């Protein structure tokens, strides 16, 4: 089985989009997407310097646009192939159909989740670009409120590393793999970490504007929740993994909701790689600017073939890999089961719902309570409650699974679950 991966912020380098613009149709697509974004992607991806593309509000749209551009020419006929999900493709084939026919799973790291959502057909390219534009702006604004940053911790004992972060009040914002954790927090906290690092660990400050995937990003989450409420979505056409816990998400709105909450919650790329292994993935292709994720895959899943799609010169090798590992799975948008997850950190308070109860669409199974608010946990599509994964009164973290439901096809209101 083949998986397609999309990198996150920090992977961008000056000029990385330039060679892709020479392919037929790509410059036209980029021009249109630039209008959607109100950003000149062609200039930013060719002549802008490292400082300019480090800006969060620029880096994130640039990464998603580049990933979509490369994906649009990845499949055998080599022509830009983005269409509209569920609509006739006309003279252009539909990239979403190509992904569904050739790719067993898609996943993205942090902002790469938006690229992955578009590749899986959950979002149109335009919706993905508008969402990432607003995500980048909101996160940049949140980062400007307090001087914060991120530092990669390489090596060291895992428990000792996490204990040191807790001692200093830092967050493990990215758990990328065994021996690779990214700490995030205030600059004075990161300075204290640099002065007294965990034994056996090497530190590498990251070129990012703030403490992403921590509580410092809460204002950005609020903004994105407002947008997500009206965002058009569709069901994924292939297996789509979530950064929250590595699980496969089979409901478009649920994935977008997780994506929004992920802005202030840790990225568990280690769990995504575990899921890829459990799914039987035999090869991965990382979209540009590629390199980081395939490096992690090589260490975590050494038997998996990898390809970093850096320039168009790599397309022939990528297409050979697709042909070798393509896996047209029989995938249904109707899930065999669905997880309900915690929307934020707090204490879970369950309703009186019991195992075996058939819940209608929109049923509330409980709420997560913090000192400031209480947020309901809603079974948006309904189903039969088959398992509680937490107990009443348990502390929970954002994205933590709370309950498992099966579709109940005997109920008319659940036919589309």
163 and 290 within one domain: no
Query: Please, which residues have CB within 8 angstroms of residue 396's CB and are 6 or more apart in sequence?
Result: 342, 345, 346, 347, 348, 368, 390, 402
Nearest 5°: CA angle at 62, between 8 and 22?
Answer: 120
The domain that holds 189 is classified in CATH as 3.30.70.250
Domain boundary among 211, 235, 252: 211
Residues contacting 188, CB < 8 A, separation 6+: none
Q: Are residues 285 and 382 in the same domain?
A: no
- Number of domains, the chain: 3
Q: Domain range holding 357?
A: 338-414
Dist CA 363 CA 379 (whole Å): 5
Residue 80: per-residue pLDDT: 55
Residue 411 and residue 405 in contact, taking contact as beta carbons nearer than 8 Å: no
End-of-domain residue from the set 211, 237, 252: 211
One domain, residues 221 and 77: yes
Q: Which residues participate in catalysis according to the annotation?
A: 110, 213
Confidence (pLDDT) at 92:
32
**Residue with structure tokens 């089985």?**
1
Cα(first)–Cα(last) distance of the chain, in Å?
27
User: Each residue of 229-258: pLDDT tens digit?
Assistant: 899 998 888 899 999 989 888 788 889 999
For residues 103 and 283, the answer to whether their CB atoms sit within 8 Å is no
Condensed to tens digits (0 to 9), the pLDDT of residues 318-359 reads: 999 999 998 645 444 445 567 888 877 889 999 999 988 889
Q: What is the pLDDT of residue 336?
A: 55
The contacts found for 276-281 with CB under 8 angstroms, 24 or more apart, are 276/3, 276/105, 276/107, 276/241, 276/301, 276/304, 277/301, 277/304, 279/1, 279/3, 279/104, 279/105, 279/239, 279/248, 280/1, 281/1, 281/2, 281/3, 281/104, 281/105
Nearest to 326 by CA among 94, 132, 104, 18: 104
Largest CA-CA distance found in the chain, in angstroms, rounded: 62
**DSSP symbol at 58:** H
Residue 333 counted as domain residue: no
Closest CA to 9 of 206, 253, 299, 280: 206
Count CB neighbours of 230 within 10 A.
6
Q: Are residues 136 and 158 both part of a single domain? A: no
Side-chain-side CA neighbours of 399 within 13 Å: the count stands at 25
CATH label of the domain that carries residue 42: 3.40.366.10
| pTM, to two decimals | 0.78
Q: What pLDDT is stored for residue 412 in this prediction?
A: 39
For residues 344 and 232, membership in a common domain is answered with no
Tell me the helices (H) and strands (E) count for the chain, helix number first.
14, 17
pLDDT below 50 — which residues of the chain? Answer: 83-94, 328, 330-334, 409-417
Domain stops at, among 300, 325, 350: 325
Same domain, 48 and 126: yes
128 and 275 in one domain?
yes
pLDDT given at position 373 = 84
**Distance between CA atoms of residues 371 and 157, nearest Å:** 34
């Amino acid at each position: 089985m083949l998986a397609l991966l999309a990198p996150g912020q920090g992977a961008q380098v000056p000029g990385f989009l330039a060679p892709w613009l020479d392919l037929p149709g790509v410059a036209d697509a980029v021009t249109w997407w630039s209008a959607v974004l109100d950003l000149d992607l062609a200039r930013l991806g060719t002549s802008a310097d490292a400082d300019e593309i480090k800006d969060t509000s620029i880096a994130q749209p640039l990464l998603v646009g580049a990933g979509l551009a490369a994906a649009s020419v990845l499949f055998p006929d080599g022509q830009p192939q983005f269409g509209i999900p569920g609509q006739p493709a006309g003279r252009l084939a539909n990239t979403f159909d190509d992904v569904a026919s050739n790719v067993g799973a898609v996943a993205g790291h942090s902002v790469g989740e938006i690229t992955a959502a578009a590749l899986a057909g959950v979002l149109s390219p335009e919706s993905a670009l508008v969402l990432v534009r607003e995500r980048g702006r909101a996160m940049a604004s949140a980062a400007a409120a307090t001087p914060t940053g991120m530092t990669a911790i390489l090596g060291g004992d895992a428990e000792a590393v996490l204990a040191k972060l807790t001692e200093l009040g830092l967050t493990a914002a990215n758990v990328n793999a065994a021996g690779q954790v990214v700490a995030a927090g205030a600059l004075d906290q990161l300075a204290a970490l640099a002065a007294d690092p965990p034994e056996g660990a090497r530190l590498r400050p990251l070129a990012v504007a703030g403490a992403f995937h921590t509580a410092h990003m809460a204002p950005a989450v609020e903004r994105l929740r407002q947008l997500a409420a009206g965002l058009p979505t569709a069901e994924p056409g292939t297996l789509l993994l979530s950064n929250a816990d590595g699980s496969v998400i089979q409901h478009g709105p649920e994935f977008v909701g997780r994506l929004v909450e992920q802005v202030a919650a840790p990225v568990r790329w280690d769990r995504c790689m575990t899921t890829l292994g459990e799914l039987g993935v035999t090869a991965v292709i990382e979209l540009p600017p590629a390199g980081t994720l395939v490096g992690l895959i090589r260490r975590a899943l050494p038997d998996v073939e990898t390809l970093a799609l850096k320039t168009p010169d790599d397309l022939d090798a990528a297409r050979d890999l697709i042909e070798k590992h393509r896996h047209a799975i029989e995938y249904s948008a109707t899930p065999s089961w669905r997880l309900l997850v915690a929307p934020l950190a707090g204490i879970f308070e369950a309703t009186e719902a019991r195992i075996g109860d058939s819940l209608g669409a929109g049923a509330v199974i409980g709420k997560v309570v913090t000192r400031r608010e209480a947020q309901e946990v809603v079974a948006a599509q309904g189903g039969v409650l088959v398992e509680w994964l937490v107990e009443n009164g348990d502390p929970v973290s954002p994205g933590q699974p709370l309950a498992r439901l099966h579709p109940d096809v005997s109920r008319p209101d659940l036919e589309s679950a």
